[in-house]
Amino acid sequence: DGLPAGALTTGWSWRSAPVPPVFSTPGALTTEVTFPVGGTYVLEFSATDGELTSRDPVTYRVRGDPVIEFLAPVNGSQLSDR
C-alpha cells in the first residue's frame, strides 16, 4: 500500500541550553519540561515512521530566579520575623 511498515516513534530532545533540561516523558507526544536555570533553550520534537523523519525545534527563553530585595521599613518601624 506504499505505507511504511514501522510504528510511529516520537520523542523530545534538546538542541541547545545553558544546562540540560529535564523531560518527564521524553518519548511521549506531550511532556513536562523542567528548566534548571534561566536562559535560552532550544527543544526539538521529532517523529519517525521508519521511513521518514520530521523534526520541529522550538525556542524558549526562561527567566532566572526572581530577585527579592528587602527595603527599610517606612517611618522608622522595624522588621520582625514574628
| Span 30-56, pLDDT tens digits | 999 999 999 999 999 999 988 889 999
Q: Which domain holds residue 70?
A: 9-76
CA 17 to chain centre: 9
In a domain, 27, yes or no: yes
Total tally of structural domains belonging to the chain: 1
- The strand ranges marked E within the chain are 9-16, 22-23, 33-34, 39-48, 53-62
Residue 82 lies in a domain: no
Residue 15 CA to residue 60 CA, distance in Å, equals 12
Contact 45, 28 (CB under 8 A): no
Say what the pLDDT of residue 44 is.
96
For residue 4, tell me if it sits in a domain: no
Rounded CA Rg of the chain: 22
Q: Is residue 68 part of a domain?
A: yes
Q: Does a structural domain hold residue 1?
A: no
Which of the two residues, 61 and 65, has the higher pLDDT score?
Answer: 61
Look at residue 2 and tell me if it is in a domain.
no
Within-domain flag for 16: yes
pLDDT of residue 27: 94
